[in-house]
Structure 1
Amino acid sequence: MIFKAIGRYKLLVTAALLTMLLQVGAALWQPSYMKSILKVMADMTLSTNGKIDKISQYGIALIVVAVVGLIGSVLNTLTAAKLSQAVSADLREQTFRKIQTFSYEDVEKFKADNLVVRMTNDINQIQMLLMMVFQVLIRVPLLFVGAFILSIMTMPKLWWIIVVMVVLIVVVTGISMGRMGPHFAAFQSLMDRINGIAKDNLRGARVVKSFVQEDNQAKAFDKESDELLGHNLAVGYTFSTMIPAFTIISQLAIFGAILLVSTFVTKSASVAADQLGGIMSFVQYMMQIMFAIIMGGMMSMFASRGMVSMGRISEILKTETSMTYATDDVEDLDGSIEFDDVSFAYPNDQQPTLKDISFKLTAGEMVGIVGATGAGKSTLAQLIPRLFDPTSGTVKVGGRDLKSVSQQTLKNTISIVLQKAILFSGTIAGNLKQGKADATSSDMDRAAKIAQAAEFIDRLPERYDAPVEERGNNFSGGQKQRMSITRGVIKSPKILILDDSTSALDAHSEKLVQEAMNRDLNGTTTIIIAQKISSVVHADTILVLDEGRLVAQGTHKELLETSDVYRQIYDTQKAKED
């Protein structure tokens, strides 16, 4: 997954690697010039002839190498940043597009909060990892191997000091990473939970304030936040011991090297100049080796978090959607609907919500669906536009099994208006065009009149260009429902499903909506899910559900005579009205 994304930017990858090599080469080259300068300075105690010129030459060369390394470092940072940003942007877009293909079942499996964290925090972790890989992680082994070889070439007799220092630093790093590993694994799940609490609290701000639940919400958030803080502190405490440990090990190694070199100098004056010049280079190489190991250890932390995030993103991208569509050309279907022995159970539910449902509806009918709360009315309606697939049985529209119909055909044929009116930030026109992308002003006017939304839209100065705030908070519940109905009827679908979508309307407005739909959508199969029988009393057919089963079907008058369940619901509601 990540390698495929990186492969699109071969030029940036090549530039990052070349500038990194330039940076490493300059870093490894500098100590050799320092050795030459110190050796010349040591020889000056015997003679100064020509020595000043040599020091100047070496000094200029050292400055040139340092500048080259600086240029390489700047260019490497720029290319690594650009590469990581580009790849993360591609992954974010690819992940979002993949999520758009998910069915309701897939989204429920991952949970919306979790998906948001994966598209934000996890992508950021991958971006940081890529930045570190092309800026540091690949440089670490090159710097380590180069410095190790050159240090031994500079002071062959002190090779064992390098080995001891490396072993000690690796041991400390391994122990530290082992302690921090479990904490890294807990970070992402805690971020999921914290994000979920924050989102629920903000979305339900009115409920929280109405029931004075601010303290309880704060306590729930603090609990998760404190747990995350605990993991962060544990990682911080481990780091606080790592750096001093590395410093002590490196300083002891430097002390041992200088002590041993001093014995070489006292024993053999003839090699004093060479040894004094070499000790500085040796110490610099030791510091580079230590830096490489320390950075490798620190990068392993980023790598562990990044790998977890890569796995979470890869899980999304590799998930095969549970719902696939036929690839046939777009076709016209009439509004007939047939359920053939349909049963349905939500994921992880033991009991089915719908059981052995069978019925046929002809095109153009007005159909009511009634039943007690939890009878499965909304679930049945959601099977028609194929928001879910039945567990068993077949759902047909226009005589075709929905599984053999293309997605575009289904979209052109069916509109559903949910009870909870969901509007998106933007404008009224932007929301209405979700129902019909090429909707004109006349289309909007027609649909708004049917849904009785023109009554308040025409009073707005901007009309369809009026802004819609987040979740439509600048409109009342009834206005939002009427805009949702407008969005549903704007394309004149063959099948229109109203899932209790007039619950926020007063009786007069609801009656006007139904009369307008009967008049202007007389060729449309209209399915009305309602709690109130008065909303469906004039329907051509009424389906009565009870505990997930279709227990009766007929007109209002027929059901009063033949269905005990329907008559009981009707008598209860009539008694309340009286």
Structure 2
Amino acid sequence: MMLKAIAKYKALVFAAMLTMILQVGAALWQPSYMKNILSVMADTSLTTAGRIDKISNYGVALIVIAVVGLIGSILNTITAAKISQVVTADLRERTFRKIQTFSYADVEKFNSANLVVRMTNDMNQIQMLLMMVFQVLIRVPLLFVGAFILSIITLPQLWWIIVIMIVLIVIITGLSMRSMGPHFGAFQALMDKINSIARDNLRGARVVKSFVQEKNQTEKFDKESDELLKHNLAVGYTFSTMIPAFTIVSQLAIFAAIMLISTFVTKSPSVAQDQLGGIMSFIQYMMQIMFAIIMGGMMSMFASRGFVSMGRIREVLDAKPSMEFDTTTDENLDGSIEFDHVSFKYPNDENMMLKDINFKINQGQMVGIVGATGAGKSTLAQLIPRLFDPTEGSVKVGGKDIRHVSQGTLRNTISIVLQKAILFSGTIAGNLKQGKRDATSKDMDRAAKIAQAAEFIDQLPERYNAEVEERGNNFSGGQKQRLSITRGVIKNPKILILDDSTSALDARSEKLVQDAFNNELQGTTTIVIAQKISSVVHADKILVLDEGRLVATGTHNELVESSDVYREIYDTQKAKED
């Protein structure tokens, strides 16, 4: 996944590696010049002028090397940042496009809050990982190997100090990583929970305030936040002991090297000049070796979070959508509907929600669907536009099994207005164009009049360019439902499904909407799911559901006479009205 994403930017990758080599080369070259400077200072055979001349030449060389290293470092940071940004942006877009192919069942499987965290927090972790790869991963092995070889060349008799220091630092790093690894693994799961709690609390702010649940919500959030804090503190405590441990090991190595060199100088004054000049370079190389190991360990620890995030993104990208559409060319279907022995159960649910449903609807008919709460009305409606696939049997539109037609064909043929009116932030026009991308002002006017939304849209100074806040919070429930109906009818579909979509309307507005449907959508097959029988009393056909079964079909008058379930619902509602 990651290699494929990075492969698009080969030039940037090459530039990052080249600039890193320049940076490491400059870092390794500098200590050798320091050795030369110290050797010149210790050389008693040189005159003062000669000594100053040589030191000046070495100083100029050091400045040039430092400038080259600085330029390499700056360019490497720029290229690494660009790689991490563009690759993460591509990955984020791929993930979002993949999510758009998911069915309702797939989204419920991952959980919407979880998917949001994957596209935000997990993407940030991947971005940090890429930045470290091109700033540190290439640098660490080059710096370690180069400094190790040059340190031994500088003072070969002290090779064993380097080896002992490396072993101790590797042991400390390994123990630290082992301690922190489980905590990094827990971070993302806790972030999912915290995000979910915050989202539910903000979305349900009115419920929280109405039932005085602020304390309970705070306690729930604090519990997960404290758990995250515990893991963060554990990592922090490990860091607080790891860095001093590295410092102690390096200082002991430096102390041992200086003590041994002083011993060598005392025993063999003839070699004192070379060894005194080399001790500074040797110490610098030791620091570079320690730095390389520490950076490698640190990168491994932080990379563990990045790899966890990569795994979570890979789960999304590799997930096979539970529903695939035919790729044939879009076609025109009429508005007839047929359910042929359809049964359905939700994923991870043992019981069937719908059981052996059979019926036919002719084009242009208005059909009502009634039943008690939980009878399966909305579920049945969601099978028609193929938001779910039936577990058994088949659903046919225009005489064709919907599993064998293209997605474009279904979306052009069917519009569904869901029970919960959902508006997206932006403008009214932007929301209406979700129903018909190329909708004109004339199309919007016609649809708004049918849905009785024109009466409040026309009062807005911006009309269709009026702002829609997040989740349509600047509109009332009835206004949101009318906008949702407007979006559903704007493309003049062959089949229109209204899933209890007039529940927030007053009786007058509902009557006007129904009259507009009868006058303006005469050729449209209209399916009305309603809690109130008054909403479907004039339907050509009414389907009565009870515990997932189709128990009766007929007109209002026929069902009052023949169906006990329908008559009970009707009598109950009539008694309430009386």
**What's the C-alpha RMSD, in Å, of the aligned pairs?**
0.8
Counterpart in the other structure of 2:405? 405
Q: 2: CA distance between counterparts of 1:490 and 1:188? A: 42
Q: Please give the residue correspondences for 1:54-93 in structure 2 after superposition, counting only pairs within 5 Å.
A: 54-93=54-93
| Counterpart residue identity of residue 299, structure 1 | M
Looking at structure 1, the residues matched to 46 and 333 of structure 2 have their Cα atoms a distance apart, in angstroms, of 103
Q: For residues 186 and 92 of structure 2, what CA distance do their matches in structure 1 show?
A: 23
Q: Distance in 1 between matches of 2:271 and 2:529?
A: 98
Query: How far is 1:47 from its partner?
Result: 4.7
Shift of 1:294: 0.6
CA separation of 1:169 and 1:341: change in aligned 2, threshold 3 A: same
Question: Letter of the aligned partner of 1:114 in structure 2?
Answer: N
Aligned to 2:147: 147
User: What does residue 277 of structure 2 align with?
Assistant: 277
User: Quick check: 1:526 aligned with 2:526?
Assistant: yes
8 Å Cα contact 1:542/1:556 also seen in 2: yes
Matched, 1:312 2:303: no
AA partner of residue 146 (structure 1): G
* Cα offsets for 1:291-346 (capped at 9, x unmatched): 00111111011110000000001111111111111111111100000000111111
What are the Cα deviations for residues 544-570 of structure 1, in whole angstroms up to 9, with x where unaligned?
000000000111111111111111111
Q: Distance in 2 between matches of 1:469 and 1:160?
A: 69
Q: Secondary structure of the residue that 1:44 maps to in structure 2?
A: coil
Q: Which residue of 2 aligns with 1:388?
A: 388
Deviates more, 1:563-572 or 1:43-52: 43-52
1:223 is the counterpart of 2:223:
yes
Q: Does 1:503 align with 2:514?
A: no
How do 1:138-217 and structure 2 match up within 5 A? 138-217=138-217
Q: In terms of mean alpha carbon deviation, does 88-97 or 224-233 score higher?
A: 88-97
Q: State the match for 1:557 in structure 2.
A: 557
TM-superposition CA deviations, 1:129-176 (whole Å, max 9, x none): 000110112201110010001101111110000000000000011001
2:436 is paired with a residue of what secondary structure? Answer: coil
Which whole-Å CA distance do the structure 2 matches of 1:45 and 1:207 have between them? Answer: 90
Q: Where do 1:260-339 residues align within 5 Å?
A: 260-339=260-339
Q: Which residue of 1 aligns with 2:416?
A: 416
What is the match of residue 474 of structure 1?
474
2-side partners of 1:577 and 1:471: how far apart? 33
- Give the Cα–Cα distance (whole angstroms) in 2 for the partners of residues 310 and 49 of structure 1: 62
Cα distance in 2 for residues equivalent to 1:59 and 1:160: 31
Mapped to 1, the partners of 2:134 and 2:65 lie a distance apart of 22
Contact between 1:44 and 1:51, CA under 8 Å: does it hold in 2?
Answer: no
1:447 is matched with: 447
Q: Is the 8 A contact 1:143 1:288 kept in 2?
A: yes
SS state of the match for residue 394, structure 2? strand
SS at 1:514's partner residue? Answer: helix
Aligned to 1:129: 129
Counterpart for residue 98 of structure 2 = 98
Looking at structure 1, the residues matched to 268 and 53 of structure 2 have their Cα atoms a distance apart, in angstroms, of 28
Please give the secondary structure, in 1, of the residue aligned with 2:531.
coil
Instruction: Tell me if 1:567 matches 2:567.
Output: yes
SS at match of 1:230: helix
Counterpart CA distance in 1 for 2:101 and 2:514 is 34
Does residue 13 of the first structure (1) align with residue 9 of the second (2)?
Answer: no
For residues 234 and 421 of structure 1, the distance between their equivalents in structure 2, rounded to whole angstroms, comes to 45
Aligned pairs, number: 578
Q: Deviations over 1:69-121 (max 9, x none)?
A: 01100110011001101111111111111101110010000000000000000
| Structure 2: distance between partners of 1:547 and 1:97 | 37
For residues 214 and 301 of structure 1, the distance between their equivalents in structure 2, rounded to whole angstroms, comes to 38
How far off is 1:48 after superposition?
3.8
Structure 1 residue runs of 5 or longer lacking an equivalent are none
User: Which of 206-215 and 492-501 deviates more?
Assistant: 206-215
Matches within 5 A, 1:109-124: 109-124=109-124
In structure 2, distance between residues paired with 1:564 and 1:144: 84
| Mapping 1:335-354, distance limit 5 Å | 335-354=335-354
Deviations, residues 364-410 of structure 1 (Å, cap 9, x unaligned): 00000000000000000000000000111100000000011100000
In structure 2, C-alpha distance between the alignment counterparts of 1:420 and 1:219, rounded to whole Å: 30
Structure 2 portions without partners, runs of 5+: none
Partners of 1:117 and 1:524 lie apart in 2 by 41
Q: Please, which moves more after superposition, 229-238 or 462-471?
A: 462-471
When residues 465 and 49 of structure 1 are mapped into structure 2, their CA distance, relative to the original with a 3 A threshold, is closer
2:459 equivalent to 1:463: no
Report the AA paired with residue 121 of structure 2.
N
Aligned match of 2:252: 252
Secondary structure of 1:386's counterpart equals coil
Instruction: Output the CA distance in 2 between the equivalents of 1:343 and 1:282.
Output: 78
Q: In structure 2, the residue corresponding to 1:387 is in which secondary structure?
A: coil
Q: Take 1:64 and 1:109, find their aligned partners in 2: how far apart are those partners? A: 59
Q: Which residue of 1 aligns with 2:492?
A: 492
Q: Secondary structure at the match of 2:92?
A: helix
**Partner-residue secondary structure (3-state), 1:493:** coil
Deviates more, 1:183-192 or 1:199-208: 199-208
TM-score, normalization by structure 2? 0.99
Measured against aligned partners, the alpha-carbon deviations of 1:519-567 in whole angstroms (never above 9, x if no partner) come to 1000000000000111100000000000000000111111111111111
Identity rate of aligned residues, in percent? 81
Q: Deviations over 1:188-243 (max 9, x none)?
A: 00000000001011111111111111111111111100000000000000000000
Return the alpha-carbon distance in structure 2 between the equivalents of residues 233 and 398 of structure 1.
62
Post-superposition shift, 1:49? 6.0
Letter aligned with residue 468 of structure 1: V
2: CA distance between counterparts of 1:112 and 1:66? 51
Moved more, 268-277 or 46-55: 46-55
Q: Partners in 2 of 1:452 and 1:331 — Cα distance?
A: 31
Map residues 31-50 of structure 1 onto 2, 5 A cutoff: 31-44=31-44, 47-48=47-48, 50=50
Paired residue type of 1:256: A
Separation of aligned partners in 2, 1:95 and 1:394: 31
User: More displaced, 50-59 or 567-576?
Assistant: 50-59
Per-residue CA deviations over 1:29-61 (Å, capped at 9, x if unaligned) read: 000000011011111377546222111111110
What TM-score does the superposition give when structure 1 sets the normalisation length? 0.99
Q: Tell me if structure 2 keeps the 8 A contact 1:15–1:79.
A: yes
Q: Separation in 2 of the partners of 1:498 and 1:559? A: 21
Q: State the alpha-carbon separation in 1 of the partners of residues 106 and 26 from structure 2.
A: 52
Please give the secondary structure, in 1, of the residue aligned with 2:527.
strand
Cα displacement string for residues 241-298 of structure 1 (whole angstroms, at most 9, x for unaligned residues) = 0000000000000000010001111111111100000000000000000000111111
**Where does residue 375 of structure 1 map in the other structure?**
375
Separation in 2, partners of 1:306, 1:278: 41
